[in-house]
Structure 1
Amino acid sequence: MDLKALHKKHVLTPWVAQAGLNPPLMVRGEGVWLYDEEGHRYLDFSAGLVAVNLGHAHPRLVGAIAEQAARLAYAAPSFFHDKRALLAKALSDLAPWEEGARVFFTPSGTEANEDAVKFVRQLTGRFKVLAAYRSFHGATHASASLTGENRRWPAEPGTAPGVVHFFAPYPYRSPFFTEDPQEETRRALDHLERVLLHEDPSRVAAIFLEPVVGSNGVIVYPEGYLEGVRALCDRHGILLVFDEVMTGFGRVGAAFAAERFRVVPDLITFAKGVTSAYVPLGGVLVREGLARHFDQVPLPTGHTYAGHPLAVAAGLAALEAYREEGIFERVRVLEGFFREALEALAREHPLVGEVRGLGAFYALELVRDRESREPLSPWHAPFSPPMQALLKELLREGVYVLAKHNVLIVAPPLTIREEEFLEGVERLARALRRVEVETLG
């Protein structure tokens, strides 16, 4: 049976036109490697969709899922459940609030953001919600509305009302016309305050932010920006929500980016790394002082698969693995190694305009010309021919790298060995070299 032909005939693949698709058919994973039906192996240099933090086929997670499936595969969310309780306690212990937290479990990250919108509106009695352009918060109704790029457009005009977008810092392509990071921060905060004043801050329930921009370029905000947003929220009684679907669970060298940057939000949405993507699971962490509101007021949401037993069992096993293997600390130790290897690659390849990131979360922004910074592939458009060629060359080299617009996202499993990372960089270099010959001459 031709499984690739079967897949192409019957499966709709997200976000892309279907006609030209011809990716490998993956059938197995082990550590940082994926294997296709023909036995070829590929280095998973982006941990899937920045999700498989512990690598593939981790025995602790595999065992926990199998054990839970044999014991109890489903329990309605209206029941209490042992693994739900243990995982919620473990997540509360990781959260940045001294007062503790409560967790609402969801099937995914988009639903976590969807439900966080409901929470902040009920908690504040306000309606408007602010989110940044060049952000991605999901593809369901409210989370698509929060999203600040082209993946929101197919949901329009039926997106959720009350969402207002603003520009956040992007030092490499500053929307504030400066190359000074301090000035970028100052102008960005002034812009946000002006948006708030025009929208009436007393009507704004929350500001949603990815503390590091995820699939839209791994943009690390300049120093002082997140602190400034926190101060603006405090001044106007606005809740701050960090979307940590990508940044959570060690990706930036800490349990959450909130810990890494020492900026404490009021709610945190999470998914992906909580189970190392072995079973779909997301959630909203709500600090205890806010969560008490729901002691007397019915919680305004629910899902059939909220806190699914297989998912919470996988999550509990993942948190145990992170702790026992010292994964968060390991990422901080290796951060300089990752950065140095990628910056060395950038110096040798004129298509790389900038390397940026932290922890085990990096972007290579690709340009036709370093001086003009013309993107290799246009923003909000299908991949350019050179970008398409590069992605094909990467697969030929046996390395998978997530790409968005003109950016490659290097975010391997947090368990990757140094020699494996260097192998991935060398494969990436060979692919770049061939495309540069064709593109730059």
Structure 2
Amino acid sequence: MSISEEIKKKSLRYSIQSWSKQGNLNPVVAEKSDNIYYWDYEGNRYTDMSSQLVNMNLGHGNREIAAAIKKQADEFCFLSPAIAVKSRADLAEMIVKLLPDNFGKIFFTNAGADANENAIKIARLYTGRKKIFSRYRSYHGSSFGAGNLTGEPRRYPLEPGIPGFVKFFDPYVYQEKIKFASSKEAADFYVSKLREQIIYENPNDVAAIVMETITGSNGVIIPPDGYLQGVRAICDEFGIMMICDEVMAGFGRTGKMFAFEHWGIKPDLVTFAKGVTCGYTQLGGVGISSRIAEYFDDHFLSCGLTYSGHPLSCAAGVACVQYYQEHHVLDNVQKVGKVLGTILENLKEKHPCVGDVRYIGLFSAIELVKDKMTRKPLVDYGTDPKGIMASIIGQLKKKFFMTYSHENMLLVAPPLIITEVQLEEEMQKMDAVLSWVDAQYM
């Protein structure tokens, strides 16, 4: 038995894979990775066009991040969150300086899910209120609190859920029955409906509105101009905390360090993970405004994790932030992102199966439809009994283009270090597979 076969057999025998039926799995057995690629033991090269789980922002094999982790390990690997350590202090300072000027402190977590759980706990402690608003087409994590915060079908196994979680609709303009005359009209509509719903729920009971600044896996839904400003105004009117989930969109993915910067708003709390360490180690956190942070100077903060601000992870985070800045990664995202946008628009024009493309920086989704006129999704929401999307991902995999789908969307979110040449080479594969979809399903 080859090394590859032995690893696969052992993996399937002893490990359970997330979000999968276990009986027919056939994972790639990776031997090594570098830049935007990874290889199996047979020498096949796969291109990582989703940055794994949209977290490997700086790609694979980054020597500077690895060296920072090793240096910290040589000093010490772990000390309690109650002990001040350099990597933790340095990273907290760096992130506060990246955030708007109303921010003051960071609470570190292990990942995005517990970042969101702690953010809503902080909002409840600070306001003394209990209700939390979040959107239907959202994913905030699969742990119990974050899973109740989540709106899409991955919340169903947690139901009946925790009281006090209220869902509202995304500004999903493409699939809206109303056809808006302008972006402003769309923003005004969604903001007014949200305000109306909050009034029905009693504003004095609402602690926070939680949003992925840009909806991620559920379709890269980019809010119309004026929407986030309108939500900010609602929060100011009723004393509600505005929490921006930047777990996926943050740390350069959209061409700015945080996605909310595109709309000039200042949230009260910001959750992050993924791109802060780019998957080299696990880390998440909550950016806390100075106003809220000062409240806990004389009020008990009932939040705590054994591995909060793990020194190895914080060392990786420091190296990542330095790399973003010193290597001008945001400039590359903006430059290559324009190329991606042009390619996606051409695919939309060419292929009957492509209903819409949405993109900002190197964060994009291709929405597949049965009919461009009716905008009927290729697969219905929450169900794909014929495995259509899995078959499309399989066709991409045959071309060594690795990404994932969700609902009727194909995600394209490569590492932020990708070059124009690499992007164009890979998107030719997407073009070919979309031609296959046209022939197979239209």
Q: Shorter-chain TM-score: what band?
A: over 0.9
Paired residue for 2:158?
A: 155
Taking a change above 3 Å as real, the CA distance of residues 195 and 21 of structure 1, as seen in their structure-2 partners, is same
Paired residue for 1:92?
A: 96
Paired residue for 2:78?
A: 74
Moved more, 32-41 or 216-225: 32-41
Tell me how far 1:176 sits from its aligned partner.
Answer: 5.2
How far, CA to CA, are the matches of 1:290 and 1:417 in structure 2?
41
Q: Which amino acid aligns with 1:327?
A: V
How do residues 99-110 of structure 1 correspond to structure 2 at under 5 angstroms?
Answer: 99-110=102-113
Q: Which amino acid aligns with 2:137?
A: R
Kindly indicate whether the alpha-carbon contact (under 8 Å) linking 1:171 and 1:181 is maintained by their aligned counterparts in 2: no
Paired residue for 1:309?
A: 311
Are 2:270 and 1:268 aligned? Answer: yes
Taking a change above 3 Å as real, the CA distance of residues 133 and 177 of structure 1, as seen in their structure-2 partners, is farther
Kindly indicate whether the alpha-carbon contact (under 8 Å) linking 1:111 and 1:143 is maintained by their aligned counterparts in 2: yes
Q: Which amino acid aligns with 2:415?
A: P
The TM-score, its normalising length taken from structure 1, stands at: 0.96
How do residues 156-171 of structure 1 correspond to structure 2 at under 5 angstroms?
Answer: 156-157=159-160, 159-171=161-173
Tell me how far 1:177 sits from its aligned partner.
Answer: 6.0
Are 2:234 and 1:235 aligned? Answer: no
Kindly indicate whether the alpha-carbon contact (under 8 Å) linking 1:171 and 1:179 is maintained by their aligned counterparts in 2: no
Structure 2 SS opposite 1:320: helix
Kindly indicate whether the alpha-carbon contact (under 8 Å) linking 2:244 and 2:269 is maintained by their aligned counterparts in 1: yes
Structure 2 SS opposite 1:363: strand
Kindly indicate whether the alpha-carbon contact (under 8 Å) linking 1:386 and 1:435 is maintained by their aligned counterparts in 2: no
Are 2:53 and 1:49 aligned? Answer: yes
Moved more, 348-357 or 170-179: 170-179
How far, CA to CA, are the matches of 2:187 and 2:262 in structure 1?
19
Paired residue for 1:277?
A: 279
Kindly indicate whether the alpha-carbon contact (under 8 Å) linking 1:376 and 1:384 is maintained by their aligned counterparts in 2: no
Match of 1:413 among 412, 415, 418: 415
Q: Which amino acid aligns with 1:117?
A: I
Tell me how far 1:179 sits from its aligned partner.
Answer: 6.6
Kindly indicate whether the alpha-carbon contact (under 8 Å) linking 2:356 and 2:368 is maintained by their aligned counterparts in 1: yes
Tell me how far 1:283 sits from its aligned partner.
Answer: 0.1
Moved more, 383-392 or 55-64: 383-392
How far, CA to CA, are the matches of 1:384 and 1:419 in structure 2?
35
Structure 1 SS opposite 2:24: coil
Paired residue for 1:140?
A: 143
Unaligned runs of 5+ in 1: none
Taking a change above 3 Å as real, the CA distance of residues 295 and 117 of structure 1, as seen in their structure-2 partners, is same
Kindly indicate whether the alpha-carbon contact (under 8 Å) linking 1:377 and 1:384 is maintained by their aligned counterparts in 2: no
Tell me how far 1:403 sits from its aligned partner.
Answer: 0.9
Structure 1 SS opposite 2:296: helix
Count of matched residue pairs: 438
Paired residue for 1:61?
A: 65
How far, CA to CA, are the matches of 2:380 and 2:103 in structure 1?
44
Kindly indicate whether the alpha-carbon contact (under 8 Å) linking 1:174 and 1:184 is maintained by their aligned counterparts in 2: no
Q: What is the root-mean-square deviation in Å for CA atoms of aligned residues?
A: 1.4
The TM-score, its normalising length taken from structure 2, stands at: 0.96
Q: Which amino acid aligns with 2:105?
A: R
Paired residue for 1:131?
A: 134
How far, CA to CA, are the matches of 1:407 and 1:366 in structure 2?
6
Unaligned runs of 5+ in 2: none
Tell me how far 1:160 sits from its aligned partner.
Answer: 2.4
How do residues 103-252 of structure 1 correspond to structure 2 at under 5 angstroms?
Answer: 103-157=106-160, 159-174=161-176, 178=180, 180-252=182-254
Kindly indicate whether the alpha-carbon contact (under 8 Å) linking 1:389 and 1:435 is maintained by their aligned counterparts in 2: no
Identity fraction in percent: 39
Structure 2 SS opposite 1:296: coil
